[in-house]
Structure 1
């Protein structure tokens, strides 16, 4: 059975014990990390949310006057509500070489590895500092990383590159899709269903918008652009929820639905959204308002994150491949904070222990084998800290 060092196991257990579901505060966990680093002589900077209930943490291990490698991960997890867990999700349990608990795969184990190896980083750091970036509210749309990046933009020294430790099975991901999400609110005009032509049926107008989205998605699937390095090689359009109406004999006044575009890097989702918005404004709303002036269609932007497309020959890709002993890179459809980080001129890749297939599920787990690979990655990084970054 593979074994990990006690410090790694202990840190995973400590982090999982904090219920940092995105609806909750993460401050208790962040203060624990800050205190852990303070015990090592490392000062942390906290970047709080507007309501002060949550915070990002940024810390530099090693020389403060030069740019180094950021190790980045989010501290929030998805809810366990309604899931059939066979054990306490906030207590790590081991079975058959697997560690179970909410966040073991996505992605507190990577954060734990960073903290468990912090003493090693400090002992060996010479040329290259390590920057630790731990964020809030990634799971609800990569919300927290924005204020952290704003904070870093004001600093004289910021990371030269970043490795985001989302679960990739220790494969090196240099590209992923971006997401643009919306909620559409359709306001109709209510009346008795026997007088349906005198009303404005919000559900039916929502259906026409959804049909338009289906058509946009069909065109993308048939005409591209395509990138066959992805498992789904084209931009996708998806409608996930819909609510509307009160009774079958009432023309519904309100209907809302949520939809998203998952776009290949370089395929602008705003073009697709403008198609839908133009259809709503030029075709649907004039019909609706001809019957009742108070009707209309409103789009509310929701969770959004940028795509990632770091060149194969960039130094952060080459470095991460060496640390992971990977001969190639891969591309994924799920999103991470890496896209936003790269947009702010900090080139980024995604590489971490665990598998996305285990994330967000009941009895989420990570294998000890993956954690051993994560430890090997960190040990190789420790050895790199005494040499200039480009010498790899």
Structure 2
């Protein structure tokens, strides 16, 4: 039987892999693959286009649809310019807590899942259990999107996904999506004394932001009845507007970084359609009337669907039964859950540690939370035999 000491040992090993999103995760993925292979799991590793990152998908039990997936991301956020009390990539235990980058977000859950695998392997499994560990969640959920594509191509169809993001072991059945964009404006430079002879990229960027503000206000009136989110509507945030080189030069370049957090996909489609129409019918014609090469290009940084609360949710009901919880919540932060939900799976988010500790110096997961997680994972065995 897996123990807290086993979890501590493996988590310490995982923390020792500095899998910041900008770097490779291959060493950690190989380490996990070896552990899972040793207990008889069928392990597949699917690399990204660069070959420097990979997703891991491992399975125990019969080769059939309807399995349960235990999912986590392998990457962590940077530690640069953070004031840590100890080496962030060497796990330390203090006051009933395990400290280190990624302890709660989210290598703690990964460690708990992997040390439970040998226990599952000894059972007469009638339902498969899968382990899905992805790359680049922190910078756009690119690994999960690639994983979803591979599962679809290989016709692998699990039924339930438990994502172990840090929720303090609360059951989370919903969160908003996260769509991030950069709009690039190309104008035509000139002397500030003759503005009519140039195309002021900054001024068109300002008009674009004004449209975002109008849509931001409009979305408040589109909030679904009884929306569980806070705020209940889709939000828009303008992160930055950059452009220009001097007081007396018509700026030829500008950039707007912005995001929206849609309550549902229809709002995201509405915002994108309205922006496209505004640019195509108003801004771009006015820009090109002065200079034909002027224009606007939108770069998609990431489009990650939210986890929509569902009346019927096997994953939620299963975890409620396993933990004894009598309800489920929604959260403001995003996860990979919506990507799995779009594949037709039942999804819930539940894992050890608090999101309040994630991304901060001296990140930690409590030993008590890890014990609760291990107990939940052991109890899943009753749904596999």
TM-score by length of 2: 0.94
Residue in 2 that maps onto 1:365: 364
Aligned positions of 1:1-392 closer than 5 A: 5-65=4-64, 67-155=66-154, 157-225=156-224, 227-386=226-385
Measure the CA separation in 2 of the matches of 1:223 and 1:133. 36
Rounded Cα–Cα distance in structure 2 between residues aligned with 1:266 and 1:301: 16
After the TM superposition, which parts of structure 1 deviate over 4 Å for at least 4 consecutive aligned residues? Answer: none
Aligned pair count reads: 383
Q: Deviations over 1:96-148 (max 9, x none)?
A: 22222111111111101001111111123532321111111111111112222
The offset of 1:226, in angstroms, is 5.0
1:73–1:191: structure 2 CA closer, same or farther, 3 Å change rule? Answer: same
Q: 1:240 is paired with a residue of what secondary structure?
A: strand
C-alpha distance 319-284 of structure 1, shift in aligned 2 (>3 A): same
Secondary structure at the aligned position of 1:357 is classed as: coil
Q: 1:263 to 1:385 in 2, by over 3 A?
A: same
Q: CA deviation at 1:156?
A: 5.4
Which whole-Å CA distance do the structure 2 matches of 1:234 and 1:357 have between them?
23
Using the TM superposition, give the Cα deviation of residue 190 of structure 1 relative to its aligned residue in structure 2, in angstroms. 0.9
For the Cα contact (< 8 Å) 1:230–1:332, is it kept in 2?
yes
Q: Deviations over 1:294-316 (max 9, x none)?
A: 21111111111112225243222
Specify the SS of the correspondent of 1:224.
Answer: coil
Structure 1 SS opposite 2:101: coil
Aligned 8 A contact 1:310 1:349 in 2 = no
For the structure 1 residues 67 and 223, does the alpha-carbon distance in structure 2 shift closer, same or farther, using more than 3 Å as the test? closer
Match of 1:298, SS?
A: strand
Distance in 2, matches of 1:290 and 1:355, equals 54
Q: 1:362 is paired with a residue of what secondary structure?
A: coil
Q: Where do 5+ consecutive residues of structure 2 fail to align?
A: none
* Cα offsets for 1:140-193 (capped at 9, x unmatched): 111112222222224455312111111111111112111222110011111122
Q: CA–CA distance in 1 between the matches of 2:73 and 2:219?
A: 32
Deviation at 1:76, TM superposition (A): 0.8
**Cα distance per residue 1:275-312 (max 9 Å; x no partner):** 12211221222222222222111111111111222524
Secondary structure of the 2:93 match is strand
For 1:153 and 1:220, the matched residues in 2 are separated by 33
Whole-angstrom CA distance in 2 between matches of 1:11 and 1:119: 14
CA distance in 2, matches of 1:337, 1:39: 28
* Bigger Cα displacement from structure 2, 110-119 vs 277-286: 277-286
Deviation, structure 1 residue 222: 4.2
Q: Distance in 2 between matches of 1:250 and 1:125?
A: 74
Contact between 2:205 and 2:255, CA under 8 Å: does it hold in 1?
A: yes
1:390 alignment counterpart: none
Q: CA deviation at 1:250?
A: 1.3
Deviation at 1:66, TM superposition (A): 5.1
Residues 176, 265 of structure 1: 8 Å contact kept: no
Instruction: Describe the superposition over 1:75-112 as per-residue Cα deviations: whole angstroms up to 9, x where unpaired.
Output: 11111222222221111122222222111111111101
State the 1:199 CA deviation: 1.9
- Counterpart Cα distance in 2 of 1:354 and 1:165: 10
Q: Find the residue that maps to 2:259 and give its secondary structure.
A: strand
Check 1:222–1:23 CA distance in 2 against 1; reply closer, same or farther (3 A cut): same
Aligned CA-pair RMSD: 1.8
Supply the distance in 2 between the matched residues of 1:227 and 1:301 (Cα, whole angstroms).
31
Measured in 2, the distance between the counterparts of 1:265 and 1:330 equals: 17
